[in-house]
Structure 1
């Protein structure tokens, strides 16, 4: 027989074809005869292997034999199939296969490094140790701790390698010999180890021999093995893993535990975090505390009564009052004992037999109880037989139970627990109660805050008051008119004006009546028929009304046809309605209620209105403050002002320059010197023009291109500009000539001016001009006809001027010099 399929399978297995590349050479002189499919095996090896290849040589097969079962092994795995019929062909076939095998044999992988692993050598079971290694062989490698002799493929807790080459392990609790292993990421190759002996964890527990149920007590331990270990108290003999109250050891040597609620024998246990193993115990007895309660035999329903106690177990225990026989764990009103031995406890609202209980916070167990009878208090409440709707009327009471109880008024027969207007009794015996808005039969009730239980009642009839209100027959829209009334019910009631037929509870302009009998009321802006109403504050109910007609006022407004942008416009008006009305200027066609610049009319009949900054068609409006309604208007055209601003074209940094302007619009306008191209809101260097037409400025310290700007105060709009170049502080103002003259001189005096010039021409002159004057204009000029110096008479007006050497023939400024006349 020829079991070639089994042979190939066995060879592949021994070569570990699933873990690494494997090559098999099959030489067969026969076909598969053991009823297996070699082609199917070849496909399986190709799919499941890591680079599996089979080369096949068929030797001495008959011409009539089907060799498909041999050739498919090579074809399915990427190998070579060769037939040989004699020794020579077999030799040639073997040579070809050897070459193919050599070509596919992979380069051996580089050897993995040996890793040095360093641990502490010994460690207590369950403790944390630090492990280091060097070098790191590959990303994905990891470390583990296993018993000595454990197979390479097995591991316990693992820690992945990191850049620090340091990890922390919580070691097993069982004592014995272990290995710290560095394992390659294939999970099988151990690249380094270090021996570790784990010793038995031994802990000593300390604590009291006896504690009271529910009491907090201190337990100690030494040493702490792991920060997440814990100390617990459990019944003696409880199964391992049981825990109730516990404290985590962290980095401490002692902690606070709460004793159980049930008395008996218990034990303290130190439990390891690693496997919840108990490594130390200590017996402790939990005993029942002796608690006493001191309470009165009776207390009034809803009152606070005194309670005293002794034998406090825990400050978080509490005292509660419950009906006699209430189940354990139920509670009513309660107080926490804290560090006290007595306090006030709130009685229930219902009468009957109750228990006051001292309850252990731990387990809500009752440690002591005392009976108390809750009795009905004797309370009376008194009020008048009648009161007017909305008024305040006196009530009094006796037998107050709690300062938080209240006295309320409700319709007769109202359900228990419902309430209307009310007052809290506090420490008083009487007070003022607000009557409802609706007349009828009512009850005044004394209501216990605890449970909202009614303890006393008295009837009261609420009657309709007699109120009148009187207003004039007519009033102008928006004006204030006088209203009077009689029969005031409450000082918080109010007088209201609304359109005739307005729903109850709606209101417009109003005044509060207080202790007055007449007041001024603001009329609405809209004309028509209205009602003046006396309205009860309580419930917003109308008690009296009077009719009034609101008529349109006759108002006129006068102004000029035109005004300059930003200027003050003189406006006059007649027919003032309210001193709070105002005059406004808005673009023609603006919606009602819109306004621009404005002023209040007060008690005047004319005033100045600031014109807008943008030219165009506008309206001046008289606007009613009430409702912002326009009563009169007048058209006006706002025109563009003709403004100029002048100054020198050049100035040295830090020097003084004279600035002048024409066509000033408003004294509040200003002149600014700003960098060329900066925003129009650049006011880093500016002054207000006031009533002047010129003023000195100091040039900026930074050279560059600037511009003088005349800026309208209204809207900050620039109306005129003049470029100025600021030169370096030491820049030469000479170009082909130089002037010599005094820096200062008196007004009207004569000075001598000298010069030097590099070249002459037909017409050269020395001039004196204002600092901002155009170059080829002057106040006085002397034509040069001989040698220096020449005489010049200075202006009579003080100021800053400029001497200039002009080449008129060539239209050049050859030299300049500033002179101050003072």
Structure 2
């Protein structure tokens, strides 16, 4: 506690030494902004912070009275709890106010919030900061709590004020974010942040808080000259600049061009402050100085080592011309000598050529290849051949090996979102250097690739991420730096057919309620999106057959997407998930509970059977040897009932060739069989080409439509089977 009081005593000394001098010499006035928020009841060494502040203000007042300082006071948080407008001007700046300030502070009681930004703005307004030089000193023990930004407020006051400065004293600040906020307010106005928890440093810092403006720096004439590093050729152009290390100001000092000017001394004038002088061309160098009049300063300069990478790896054919592509990664000084050198593995140089200075990027040119086959090192050097910048192994052969003749074919259909498997026919055993499959637009060149995959033996797979449409698959080899097209196959990428097939109804407890009507790939993830489009759950698929929804998924409607390798996302349908209890809503209009006998209607007679369900109002006909569940109106998890009833009918359910017909079955996959519209909804049947099954379907449809057989033509076999099954009023 003693340490903290000493800190405020230092504050008293600083403000009496600094602001008083300003008030007496240039008429500058001072406003103190005091934090009287509820947190000031906090204690340090058993003494409340507000009591420590009251003692400090007693010392402040004594100093101000002695030195004639005109000071005023703004307080906040001292009248009402939770009120961000609780800011009050306790006194305007005057010598009388400064003398009376301790008594005012003694009457303040901490209560409310911390609107420190608005309080500083209020103090600035009292000082008429847009017309006069103004200084505000803020004492706060915490961060802004009233949705204002102290950083922005500080920047605004600095921009609008004639000469506005805010110094900030952080009182017992331990949170780094709180401290950073207060520091920002001070820095944005050219003020200082001081921490009251460190009495010694605070005593030193406040000795010059709000002191008078420093004297203008003196202009100083000096000379600067470039000093290239040893072995570095002089650049063709150099630009000098200077940065003031105190203010951040940067000045352009000028540019020297030409070999006769580069090393000449350049006269410049700078203030006698700390500066960083920089020389920039192809290379760079800098030096930090405090200018002394008449001195000459040498600016060190180095270009660094230029980096290269060989892009054409070969092999090259002996005695021929070949294009060699090189990646120039750094600037090449134009005044330096560059060579392209062929050296044998044992070190003997067999061929060398001059290389011009090239810009950064890929450089390509034709070069003569040495006449003797073998293993070489291709190098880029300076004038001295031992000064090596690039050293790459290459092979020179007597002639190019012949590439095999091949063709490619599709092993599987090309379908969006699924793997395209390509079959290589002709030479899976023969080497094909750097061979890749590339998918391009129909008729496109290999560099227009949309996707590609490295040749992987006889069979290679590429995930079809491209949109449905016409494409070409080309096989490209790159054995000698030449991209050679070896085979091309036109393909048609078809739309994806993957879809989720859901049980009806789908309940949260069903462990086998979902399946995917296609193959699962390793890493496939099924994503469940709610009605707002947000991800509700996801699961990794291990099998396409028989899996449940994630346990955490709530009942409701969901759109399902399949994420495949993170490369493509497929829309695979929607589901309506209901809780187990919802599958039994009502008594007669719900399907039988799972596990009960679901064959509620059986036609065991040799003639068709006619049924009517009073609850749903549905009338239908069952052919002989058919059975049906009780019709019901589907109820969603939200309680809405379907417009038309649902009915499930099956034939020979226990036989080797079951056949089924459904009316208004929700979430039915399209690959199960065709559907047709009827007056009471949608009637579907399993895929079949059996005339008897099709005749039964025609009879069921006729019964639902009130005696109309339909508008599709029937084969003679279907007509015979239908007539054989009908009798009496049904016919």
Instruction: State the TM-score bracket (shorter-chain normalisation).
Output: 0.3 to 0.5
Q: Which of the pair has the greater relative contact order for Cα pairs under 8 Å at 6+ separation?
A: 2
Q: Which has the larger strand fraction?
A: 1
Output the TM-score relative to the length of structure 1: 0.29
TM-score of the superposed pair, with normalisation by structure 2: 0.32
Name the larger-Rg structure: 1
